[in-house]
A and B are shown apart, each in its own frame.
Chain A
């Protein structure tokens, strides 16, 4: 990850603080893109006032980074972002939305549309970090043209009291998407909806959702895979419950409209098996360390520690 000084787009509260274009990449505030580039208007649902437009016309070696942050109380953000990756181009985008402090009671309702053109590749990492009093909504759309490849990771390990996410992916022929979502809720209420449309022949998608609920949290996840053409799709929704007062509801749904398409799903919600904990304890790990390792692995993290965030007594229900 780049340092804040090298962020390509930085919005603090409602003000753009930094805009750093690269060779072969056009970066504009969405409002300017809407004004200057008429074709972008087809991709904004309404005239944008906040947010960024990134147009990757040539391959960039390092990741492009955006950051939309809240640093003052009672700020309301409504960014509308558009990312376009041109044909035969490989790009990587890291997108961060967060709050700087506690008790700012901010509101962040973000809309992002991503167009990955023919034979291009996009790796996108999207990180959210919020405090309890914030209200957050995120709507994300991916449009993958013929032969395009997408790898998308969304992580929110510090959730607000209420988080609502929507993710829709539309895949043309021979395009592929690998989408991972990981959320860790502590006294949070999370509602996630994702739909993946296999519209083109030979398209393929994998959607993986990992949810951890602790301390009176509620997570509801609806994942839908729709085959309108001969493609392959897989949904994989897993939840870990760490407290008695939490709940996880996951509803994977498959809709197949083509006899040559194959859709599969797997889902599970449960606690950490006692046998697994004891196995790790026999390797000299304390119960907290064992839980830490399991959650770290479950959420696909490498530099994250859950240690000390939950007392062991909360684990066994």
Chain B
């Protein structure tokens, strides 16, 4: 097979099965650009980690080809792939000091002692652990171990760095801090990173592009903002960010827009991915795009809603209302000057734009 130009890493029609009966990865096609930070995002069991392991060489693809830097690597053993990897639990070698851990990839490459020393120190400085070279991993905090793992995956200038849920074991604050650090390291080194996570905020923060995995298939591959604002199917809409889901039947369609009937209410929506008039469709609507008591004529969709529950969250009020027979409809009311004060039990009007309401495919359980 000839290699497509441009892509640095590409999966071509890759399939993976462990038991010969079910496919964990179904026909994966994915091109990753040089210098890109690509995140594979998905729930557990979606096939994302399997893809990463195939790329690292710890799993073999059942079918298809994986190309790295112009050369197919299906039959290259892991230690010859020149791919750095950060593992879920860091996998730092406990019997070596931090400096020895960092020197390991350089020693097996038979670099000179002076070279090794210099590179190790530079890598330690990069992750702000300069004075910690003599310590054992067990003497470091979780965040420091994490940094050592990142430094070790980068110290030998690999072609590609893979990260397998590297921040999963850290607490929330540290995780956010490390997200920025990894992002900055990526930007300053211009290294290609493939990152696996199930945490959507992590993916949104760090990535150039995100591949949302579910059921062994990439549901959508797009930049973070596109993914959030223009989800292409019900799974992505539900998985990324908070989302109001209304299920109804498509009654009319005119070009870009369509009309959905939900419990007798006709809702104007943007036609994105429904199966045509008469089919079941999921409407996806972000809570922050819903207005309370909109002015007359501003929104094509205005309905009565009963306030069920108010949750005070500081910068906004999370308001649960009952609309069109759905009592899990969330509206975010910003805590701005002069915002409406709602009381549970009262009835208000809620409205939204047709463009913010995307008619997607039928939900999985209704299909």
Q: A and B from one assembly?
A: no
Residues of A within 8 A of B (CB): none
Residues of B within 8 A of A (CB): none
